[in-house]
Structure 1
Amino acid sequence: MGYRLSKIYTRTGDAGETGLGDGRRVPKDHPRVEAIGEVDALNSQLGLLLAQLAEQEGMWLGLSELLEVLAPCQHRLFDLGGELAMPAYQALDQAEVARLEAAIDRWNEEVGPLENFILPGGSLLVAQAHVCRSQARSAERRCQQLNALEPLSGVTLAYINRLSDLLFVAARLIAKRLHIQEVLWQAAPKP
């Protein structure tokens, strides 16, 4: 890829607009820009989770599989951002959705059925996986809002949906492999 940023600021966005890959200029609060921003925020949170997993990997060998499955997701999220910035561009394909589904099925079998609602917590790693999951849901909502105005590909929408599912199961798998009790929701006491 031959793209180089020789200058970080351009001053072209100072009036509240930004440029898309197809040449259009749109307000910075346009649904497309909102979706790009949410995907970028998810990618940043996922980067934090991956860094934390990498730091723990030497002590807990069971985390290497999580790194292998989740690390490519950062690249695919960047691709998804490209799709959002350049509406005619299509980078994601059904094979990537299938890759996530295979990991979800494999990990879900290991953690077993969910018997109660769980809360984000138990450890920093588990909580960060849940932060990523909730950020993925936010990105999905923004993509769906954009989809109502300017249709997105079904693969794009399926990918972001499946990624949030993967991150939920990843949080549970981290807890299981590190022998951390899941934080179970407790209903408020009845008066």
Structure 2
Amino acid sequence: MKIYTKTGDKGTTSLIGGTRLSKAHVRIEAYGTVDELNSYIGLLGDQEVNEKRRNLLKEIQDRLFTIGSHLASEPEKSKRILPDLIEDDIFLLENEMDVIDSQVSPLRAFILPGGHQSISFGHLARTVCRRAERAVIHLQESEEVEDIVVQYLNRLSDYLFMLCRIMAHELAIAEITWKPRVDK
């Protein structure tokens, strides 16, 4: 099977169901950003500090593929049965955040991204997750998107922030706190 089809050479792509859309369409932007996020989650899973979290990060990648399949399909035309995103997927992220929260010091200031390459990768993933969330909300304003997709992305960005915090803790890296300049 060839990877190239040449069907997108004029700036369009097909949804699952057959409808062709501009590659600049809000739907394509939404699932493209979810795909970008998935790549960053893979990068996080490759970090040595996340060795014990690799299975969780792979599960998150699987959920992102689920989200992507929903965003890339036309509910009224797709005959395929798509995997589901369920409340337990959100509870898993919440439980993981609760565990991390019990292991890190209380948050007393805004945290700036950085301090270690792995932490910086985590913050990149977090910000791409927020962009994916915004793209999905934008799509939801004009087309049907299940609320659980937005909820999952919202919770995932929170988890990624907490993941950065636990990575800093485990790497013995001081978090960089924001100290706003005060003009005198």
Give the TM-score of the pair, scaled to structure 1: 0.88
1:134 aligns with 2:127: yes
What's the counterpart of residue 47 of structure 1? 42
Structure 1 residue 75, shift from structure 2 partner: 1.3
Which runs of no fewer than 5 residues in structure 2 stay unpaired? 76-81
**1:94-173 → structure 2 map (5 Å cutoff):** 94-173=87-166
Separation of aligned partners in 1, 2:174 and 2:58:
25
Identity of aligned residues (%): 39
Give CA-to-partner distance per residue, 1:10-64, whole Å, 9 cap, x none. 1111111110002111111111000011001111111111112xxx25xxxxx44
Which of 14, 21, 39 pairs up with 1:19? 14
What's the counterpart of residue 82 of structure 1? 69
* SS of 2:24 mapped into structure 1: coil
What's the counterpart of residue 79 of structure 2? none
CA contact (8 A) 2:123 2:160 kept: yes
Which runs of no fewer than 5 residues in structure 1 stay unpaired? 1-5, 58-62
Give the TM-score of the pair, scaled to structure 2: 0.91
CA contact (8 A) 1:66 1:170 kept: no
Separation of aligned partners in 2, 1:121 and 1:110:
20
Structure 1 residue 118, shift from structure 2 partner: 0.5
CA contact (8 A) 2:165 2:175 kept: yes
* SS of 2:46 mapped into structure 1: helix
Structure 1 residue 122, shift from structure 2 partner: 0.8
* SS of 2:148 mapped into structure 1: helix
- The total of aligned residue pairs comes to 178
Separation of aligned partners in 2, 1:149 and 1:171:
34
After superposing on structure 2, the runs of 4+ consecutive aligned residues of structure 1 that deviate more than 3 Å are none
Separation of aligned partners in 1, 2:10 and 2:35:
22
1:187 aligns with 2:174: no
